Structure 1
């Protein structure tokens, strides 16, 4: 049997790729946990990024975008939680630049090689004395504390390490992210970081990141709100020793598969850890007129508050799903739609199948709920991820600053 790229990929225990270091510290931005950290590469790494589309793009996000766009290179990213440094005007932009310079001075590298990431409360000035003190305590370690230091309302760190072989060299790709509420990306409210010791030029990395984000992070939603801050940044330092990857490289498909596995895992981790969520929801749409329409319908279903509340209440009210489909502009066979939940068919030819409500309630008790929809108009598909809507979501966001 011929091996596929998937067969050549190994999900490993969390580890940093060759040539990367990371650390975290408690700077006092949050009360009782680490709230600052950095990633550092021994050599400048090729870099790529995608960024929030919110019009009030935060100062750290704008600065990182400008920095990466200079030459698609980074050697470090410094980050903090507890304060977004967003909507702070000229002061916020100056503070982001100062944060970049202080980090560069500490690492003895050029400021143009330092990215900045911040997350937390919007509209409060960044306490620069605490930021300076935090940077002074960061070291070049290999610990994983950074994956927790960036969290806000998340319940756990979200990480993955994947290994594969490229040109006979073992390549390690490690990702981590934060994100729980204000999640409705294009790009939005999460910080995601991917490090790899593969060699791949920045322009190729940017193309790969942008296309993969469209299929992963941009297909999750928790509450329909897009944040001001967030981004996904990738650094590839080439320490594995492979020849620089290009689209016609023999092992390029294997690396792409590994890269997509990292981003898809992180996206689902965010969706399943939505604020107050009790279930991960996956929607798979088939029979679409185009891939774009399949993606559109999947995200509309997973983003519908009525569907999310239905799932939380374990109520097999399939009409909620039908209305979510119908309010899109996608092509639909209005007399031929099918809907199933966890393999139980609720709708066939756009009519209820009369399945026993108790069976549906029982299956909705599972921690993962999979909704399959056939639009019956084409050969394309789409997938999106989200979560249910619970009472706890309101509790968390009613007291976010306190």
Structure 2
């Protein structure tokens, strides 16, 4: 399905969003750091959270709220993650949600909260409370929401896709500390389709697993990782549940949008100059295919070679060899930017200068065939540049 990158979280009917500058992030012209997204009507809701055992206050708060009832809105602050902040962090998170719910005119327990930024710092509640009245919630507020949730991101990441009479919109943030295991990664999706909660939850988990859980910038997961989808049914029609004629179309559209957003995260990785797509085929099990994708995407040696446009396919072979996945050595094949560089246990004859030239583009592909089965997986990552080190050497100071 075709994703419109100009779409956003308020492209579906019945959603409002807005943002303001509270002074949490470093000041800059047009900077925003506090945002609200809300549905004008009740929603089905599904969410997936970090598996980190040290998780942010917002993760605990949202899990507790969603265990009781679906939500219809979320408030997000950028600059401070409110993670590893103890009882005060929990109290601050609940208060931020309460303030946002009052601004949006919905019950407290229907407003979720997400925080992203530096770990171990308390939320500046006075600044956030003072900025809340400045948030104007409108159907055109999606782009402002996407800008406000950014931290080291260099640009907003949004999109929308249509299926039948319905629209799914989305926005996400993430540039460093990206290796979701459900970086700092937050993703918010909306749809005006009437989707039953169990169907929404199952489809969303599968879509997240095939998209955000197969993207990596640096191999580090976050205590704040959260992906949420709201379905408000504002476009009308019969409730979509498992077995409904539109259920498969909904899931296909949802997956397409999640993949688009995941790729945008990888493309905007801290210091990145290239988007790298990793495809593994011929795996014995789905787990083997996914494991090798994630190992390839986090190999600093391989990421560095890709940054330098060095067609050193031995970096790929080394990862395959240490991965522990099942393979038939005589059947293993490696392609780099569409060029076969290794097969049948030996290197092929290729033009290294031409391949290096192909690797200088903004999109690089790595494909591995294991010859051990029929399972496959595709994931996304980026190259490793000196700029990544510079950003993270100075991130806190």
For normalisation by structure 1, the TM-score amounts to 0.94
> What is aligned with 1:93?
90
1: CA distance between counterparts of 2:263 and 2:14? 28
What secondary structure does 1:109 align onto?
Answer: coil
The 8 Å contact of residues 280 and 378 in structure 2, kept in 1 or not, is answered as yes
CA contact 2:336–2:365 (8 Å) conserved in 1: yes
For 2:221 and 2:35, the matched residues in 1 are separated by 24
Q: Distance in 2 between matches of 1:308 and 1:123?
A: 30
Deviation at 1:335, TM superposition (A): 2.4
* 2:135 paired residue number: 138
User: In 1, are the aligned partners of 2:341 and 2:350 still within 8 Å (CA)?
Assistant: yes
Q: Pick the aligned partner of 2:39 from 38, 41, 65.
A: 41
Distance in 2 separating the partners of 1:121 and 1:370:
33
Q: Do 1:199 and 1:243's aligned partners in 2 also have CA atoms closer than 8 Å? A: yes
Instruction: Specify the alignment match of 1:57 in structure 2.
Output: 55
In structure 2, distance between residues paired with 1:161 and 1:127: 33
Contact 2:309 2:356 in 1 (8 A): yes
Q: Deviations over 1:50-82 (max 9, x none)?
A: 1111111000121112212222x1121011101
Counterpart pick for 1:184 among 176, 179, 184: 179
Q: Which residue is equivalent to 2:208?
A: 213
Is 1:277 the equivalent of 2:272?
A: yes
Unaligned runs of 5+ in 1: 1-5
Offset from partner CA, 1:329-350 (integer Å, 9 cap, x none)? 2101122210011111100113
Change over 3 Å in CA distance of 1:36–1:10 after alignment to 2:
closer
2:125 matched to 1:128? Answer: yes
Q: Which residue pairs with 2:64 in the alignment?
A: 66
Q: Match for residue 266 of structure 1? A: 261
For residues 227 and 325 of structure 2, the distance between their equivalents in structure 1, rounded to whole angstroms, comes to: 29
2:4 paired residue number: 11
Structure 2 gap ranges (5+): none
1:156 alignment partner in structure 2: 155
Partners of 1:29 and 1:82 within 8 A in 2: yes
Could you say which residue in structure 2 is the equivalent of 1:298? 293
- 1:259 counterpart SS class: helix
Residue 276 of structure 1: how far off its partner (Å): 0.1
Number of equivalenced pairs:
390
Query: How does the TM-score come out when normalised to structure 2?
Result: 0.95
Distance in 2 (alpha carbons) for counterparts of 1:104 and 1:273 = 32
Instruction: Please identify, of 174-183 and 94-103, the stretch whose mean Cα deviation from structure 2 is larger.
Output: 94-103
5 Å-filtered alignment, 1:208-357, equals 208-357=203-352
Indicate how the Cα distance of structure 1 residues 185 and 12 shifts in structure 2: closer, same or farther if over 3 A, else same: closer
